[in-house]
Structure 1
Amino acid sequence: MVHGRPEFTGRIEVRGLTKRFGSFTAVDGLDFDVEPGRITGFLGPNGSGKTTTLRMLLGLVRATHGTATIDGHRYAEIANPLTVVGSALEATNFHPGRTGRNHLRVQAAVAGVPDSRVDELLELVGIPAAARKRAGGYSMGMRQRLGLAAALLGDPRVIILDEPANGLDPEGIRWLRGFLRHLADEGRTLLISSHMLSEVEQTVDDVVIIANGRRVAQGTVADLRGEPTAYVRTSDPERLTQALRDRGLSVAPKGRGLQVTTEDLAVVGDAAHASDVAIHELRSEQTHLEELFFNLTDRDEHRNRNLDARPSGGLPVDLPPPSGPPIDPALLAEPVESGEPGERVERRASTTPAMPAGRPDDDGRPR
């Protein structure tokens, strides 16, 4: 139930979603679903269209064709969306001169959320001590936590995160894993984009894998892995093969041993013992998400076609614009001579935008 709407489910549906930037096809007829109460991993190589898809889902980019809806509604149709959908797409989307607490207070004011919620979330994500420090001095991990706090301001039922584990240390990653599981157990819908395949495997329930803007696989992690198997190396492969097949198991040669379709190693051991066959090696085998990912995305039909479509003169002129503010051309200029002979002055990019003299900063102190 979300704000008096018991019919709200939080289900995400993407149907025929396509986005073209000139001749560059970022997303191509994409279909997938994200169910409430589950964590869905959204995976794909660089340039596969993951971030563009998330931006279309959040109404930041207009789709060329198709739909991306939350509970049957486009993002722009949701009243006070921050209380329904929380998102964190970039860990650098903060004013560097503003404190972490004031960054959240600005967003809270837009959503009609009290300041008490800001302090609660700073405590929840583990950065209360840094709340009054400027975000420009935050580490990458602290920015990730601040972004997560911003996504949760309106107590949303749908949470969309892009690379949330980037910059976190092992302890922080373990904390994030447990925190995301807690949110899913509350019935929330979580869509997580990530490149950290080993971590995703320990975190998510379902996986959507895309390449060249198209879906190449979707399902639970267990379903995508396929049937569990065992590998056995023995002194008499033919005799053990017959014994295992007599027990109704599928057996195939593999390297110097046999691959048996079962997760019960005891069955293999019992068959070998009953047949008086020595076992030299016996272990479980399982397709890991990383292996599955590369098996799918390394196929010729799924290789990034846009990387091979660049004209000889350089980068395509119709690529999507980069995120973030434009770069001041003056910052890229060559060093210029000062008024004093023999003295050179270099132009350097500032990490903090200049403020007018005398203007107070977020903490109320004049500059």
Structure 2
Amino acid sequence: MSLGRPEFVGHIEVRGLTKRFGSFTAVDHLDFEVRPGRITGFLGPNGSGKTTTLRMLLGLIRPTAGTATIDGHRYVEIDNPLTVVGSALEATNFHPGRTGRDHLRVQAAVAGVPDRRVDELLELVGIPAAARKRAGGYSMGMRQRLGLAAALLGDPKVIILDEPANGLDPEGIRWLRGFLRQLADEGRTLLISSHMLSEVEQTVDDVVIIANGERVAQGTVQELRGDPTAYVRTSDPERLADALTSRGLTVTPKGAGLRVTTEDLAVVGDAAHAADVAIHELRAEQTHLEELFFNLTESEEHRNRNLVGVSTADLPPPTGAPIDPALLVDAPQEDRR
């Protein structure tokens, strides 16, 4: 049966995904979903298993256990996958002596895509003037744009990008943000791995956070941020806390002041005025993705994962390293537990 592109809507599902390299567990029973029409940020500290997870999703390495599928199909089961899934895991996977246009033409030929699509994409990602220059002389930002063009060659429904904003200047990052939003608005599924938390916060709809190969959080940015709060510093915290509590607000101490579960600063001011309490400071607060990220991952990073005796051969290959063909062989049965 053909698994051609028309059958796909772009739903990514990862269930119980596990990858062991010898005695080292890079990804540990990972579960998450990525929905069409949304941008999902895939976040985690260096070495948390993000790239290994993406490689398993793209069929570059086989999982020890679990599944990573697109609309229920593994990547290797999809006919002409470049027309279903576009990816850019690294900004260095091109021949330095080949021009940017020729790099795309080679990939287009593999996917059965006409050359005119190459020129359209070079224009779309903003590097038509550099198309006939050798890619080895590209800046990091130009390489990122070339990688994005390559990911879009087959007009895929699913787009997977690893650190796409690396090397882009502020103008380029702003362009990328709008470009990704346009792709999501077209109904495509976008999964983006990144460590640029402030930028991710302005770009993504949903977030998956992992640490030590395990999922520690998943949800919309707003869900993970929690309810908006206000911070108030006053001459009489106890009296103000009573006044705010009597109005049905939740109040907790924070430093020299109080944290109040409301986004309406006027309510806090009115309560202080009615209680005849002076306010020294009053401001709205919002948990930022960066704060949330470190709160969630620091405890995981401090877990005692005993790596004594693990050889470098057990560790996953670094980003940019070639994949060992041996890793494509099914894991031994003792590693499947």
Q: Same fold (TM over 0.5)?
A: yes
User: What does residue 313 of structure 2 align with?
Assistant: 317
User: 1:246-266 CA deviation, whole Å, 9 max, x = no partner?
Assistant: 211111222211111111111
The aligned counterpart of 1:63 is 63
Look up the match of 1:30.
30
2:100 aligns to what? 100
Contact 1:211–1:303 (CA under 8 A) maintained in structure 2: no
Which structure has more helix as a fraction of its residues? 2
State the secondary structure of the residue aligned to 1:269. helix
Q: Which residue of 1 aligns with 2:21?
A: 21
Q: Which has the higher contact order (CA 8 A, sep 6+)?
A: 2
Partners of 2:135 and 2:321 lie apart in 1 by 16
Amino acid corresponding to residue 97 of structure 2 in structure 1: G
Task: Supply the AA of the counterpart residue of 2:192.
Answer: I
Equivalent pairs: percent with the same residue? Answer: 84
1:8 is displaced (CA, Å) by 2.7
SS in 1 for 2:210: strand
1:146 aligned partner, one-letter code? L
Aligned partners of 1:125 and 1:145 also within 8 Å: yes
User: 1:320 and 1:232 mapped to 2: Cα distance?
Assistant: 48
Corresponding residue of 1:348: none
Greater gyration radius: 1
Counterpart in 2 of 1:277? 277
Contact 1:41 1:192 in 2 (8 A): yes
| Other-structure match for 1:12 | 12
Structure 1 pair 213–250 and aligned structure 2 pair: CA distance change class (3 A): same
- What secondary structure is seen at the aligned counterpart in 1 of 2:132? coil
Alpha-carbon contact 2:50-2:193 (below 8 Å) kept: yes
Contiguous gaps of at least 5 residues in structure 1? 327-367
Aligned to 1:189: 189
Q: In the alignment, does 2:213 pair up with 1:210?
A: no
Question: What per-residue deviation string (whole Å, max 9, x for no partner) do you get for residues 226-248 of structure 1?
Answer: 11110111122222222211211
Q: Decide whether the 8 Å contact of 2:5 with 2:84 is kept in 1.
A: no
Residue matched to 2:135? 135
Partner SS state of residue 313, structure 2: coil
Aligned-residue offset at 1:14: 0.2
User: 2:5 & 2:218 partners in 1: Cα distance?
Assistant: 33
Shift of 1:295: 1.0
The separation in 2 between residues aligned to 1:27 and 1:239, in whole angstroms, is 50
| Amino acid across the alignment from 2:204 | V
Q: 1:141-160, aligned counterparts within 5 Å?
A: 141-160=141-160
Change (3 A) 1:28 1:96: same
Q: Secondary structure at the match of 1:298?
A: helix
Quickly say closer, same or farther: Cα 1:304–1:257, change in 2 above 3 A.
closer
Q: Is the 8 A contact 2:86 2:158 kept in 1?
A: yes
SS in structure 2 of the partner of residue 317 of structure 1: helix
Query: How far did 1:89 drift?
Result: 0.2
Q: Which whole-Å CA distance do the structure 1 matches of 2:298 and 2:4 have between them?
A: 45
Q: Where does residue 234 of structure 1 map in the other structure?
A: 234
Deviating 4+ runs (over 3 angstroms): 301-306, 321-326
Letter in 1 for 2:70: I
Correspondences of 1:39-78 after superposition (within 5 Å): 39-78=39-78
Q: Is the 8 A contact 1:48 1:304 kept in 2?
A: no
In structure 2, relative to structure 1, the CA distance for the partners of 1:4 and 1:90 (3 Å cut) is: closer
> Aligned partner of 1:211: which letter?
A
CA-CA distance at 1:285 after TM superposition:
1.3
The amino acid across from 2:314 in the alignment is D
TM-score by length of 1: 0.84
Q: Does structure 1 conserve the Cα–Cα contact (< 8 Å) formed by 2:40 and 2:207?
A: yes
CA change 1:305–1:145 in 2 (3 A) is farther
* Farther off after superposition, 243-252 or 160-169: 243-252
Counterpart-to-counterpart distance in 2, 1:26 and 1:3: 32
CA RMSD of aligned residues (A): 1.8
Note closer, same or farther for the CA distance 1:49–1:325 as it changes in structure 2 (3 Å cut).
Answer: closer
**Letter of the aligned partner of 1:83 in structure 2?**
T
The CA deviation string for residues 308-366 of structure 1, in whole angstroms up to 9 with x for no partner, is 5143xx9533223444459xxxxxxxxxxxxxxxxxxxxxxxxxxxxxxxxxxxxxxxx
Aligned AA (2:199): E
Moved more, 315-324 or 243-252: 315-324
Q: Deviations over 1:199-233 (max 9, x none)?
A: 11111111111111110111111111111110111
CA contact (8 A) 2:8 2:157 kept: no
5+ residue gaps, structure 2: 324-337
Other structure's SS at 1:215 match: strand
SS in 2 for 1:208: strand
**Aligned-pair distance for 1:279?**
1.2
Deviations 1:113-169 (A, max 9, x none): 111110010011010000000000000000000000000011111000000000001
Q: Distance in 2 between matches of 1:303 and 1:81?
A: 39
Aligned residues of 1:212 and 1:305 also touching (Cα < 8 A) = no
